[in-house]
Amino acid sequence: MNQKIILASGSKQRKLIMDALGIEYVVIPADIDEKAIRDEDLKLRAEKIARGKAEEVSKTNEGIIIAADTFVACNGEVLEKPIDLEEAKEMLKMESNNRIVVYTGFCYIDKLNGINFSTTSISNLDLREIRENEINNFVENNPVLQWSGAFCPLYLYQTTFINHFEGSITSVSGLPTDLLVECFEKSGVEIKGSSL
């Protein structure tokens, strides 16, 4: 019997990744106060938020539940989603010619198969110098308010900001497929892929 697969997130980027895998799923965003979940260890913070989302959705829904949370750290400062375009510009100026660390907490719950897994995927990116006119144009023409640190390499032009990369490109975009695919295999979920 096929289980319902639930993505506990309304993130456009996460949906794009799920669509690319060719998986049938439903979106049920978790209603939790993410800011109430804190930990000085950023790896633990990301994992705790992802787990909080998954567990909240699992209270009222049956099936496989997938949750994630992503934020960026730069110069020791955590950068979440900017509140406005000016803050997005300031974030990109900080990230310019600098190293950013992207933390993506991941949680996968499949009660039927006894899977309850969570962790954090960490990626390091060294960015080139981003000129002020580039920042202004990028912020004005892209949905930067949806992205932690105003950064999402699923948008091809922003990929050109990267000089060096270590980690998972899908994790930086919000959902680590290396971890997700391994969990799907344990649940017996077939990945069909898509032509997107």
Residues in the chain: 196
DSSP letter for 58, please: H
Q: Are strands 64-74 and 99-110 parallel, antiparallel or unpaired?
A: antiparallel
Place of tokens 């996460």: 14
Side chain identity at residue 116, one-letter code: N
The answer to whether residue 69 is catalytic is yes
Residue of 31, 33, 69, 110 marked catalytic:
69
Q: How crowded is residue 40: how many other Cβ atoms within 10 Å of its Cβ?
A: 6
* Cα–Cα distance, 170 to 140 (Å, whole number): 24
Is 149:72 a contact under the CB 8 Å cutoff?
yes
Cα gap 123→166, rounded to integer Å: 6
Which one-letter DSSP state was computed for residue 44? Answer: H
Active-site positions read: 69
